[in-house]
């Protein structure tokens, strides 16, 4: 699974499925887009692939520890259709 944030394609270091969405492990430049989307709300966050494919996601938690940041994303509503 990957993240689509606005027009950017992000490949997390790891993605762990949770009861309400996913937890993405990010670092460096890959971390900036979800942080900007979470704090400014200007960009849509979506999952690409897996059972949450094309679901809109909302950042519900950010944990920073050492060189690793975990962003918790919760699914918001039904899948968005392509057409």
Looking at residue 82, its pLDDT comes to 55
| pLDDT > 90? residue 67 | no
Q: How confident is the model over 16-61, as pLDDT tens digits?
A: 998 888 999 988 878 887 777 777 665 678 888 877 777 788 888 8
Helix, coil or strand: residue 74: strand
Helices (H) and strands (E) in the chain — how many of each? 1, 7
Could you tell me the pTM of the whole model?
0.77
DSSP letter (8 states) at residue 38: H
């Amino acid at each position: 699974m990957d993240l689509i944030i606005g027009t950017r394609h992000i490949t997390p270091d790891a993605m762990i499925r949770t009861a309400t969405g996913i937890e993405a492990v990010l670092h460096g430049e890959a971390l900036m887009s979800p942080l900007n989307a979470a704090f400014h709300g200007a960009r849509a966050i979506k999952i690409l692939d897996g059972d949450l494919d094309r679901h809109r996601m909302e950042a519900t938690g950010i944990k920073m520890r050492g060189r690793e940041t975990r962003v918790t994303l919760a699914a918001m509503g039904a899948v968005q259709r392509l057409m």
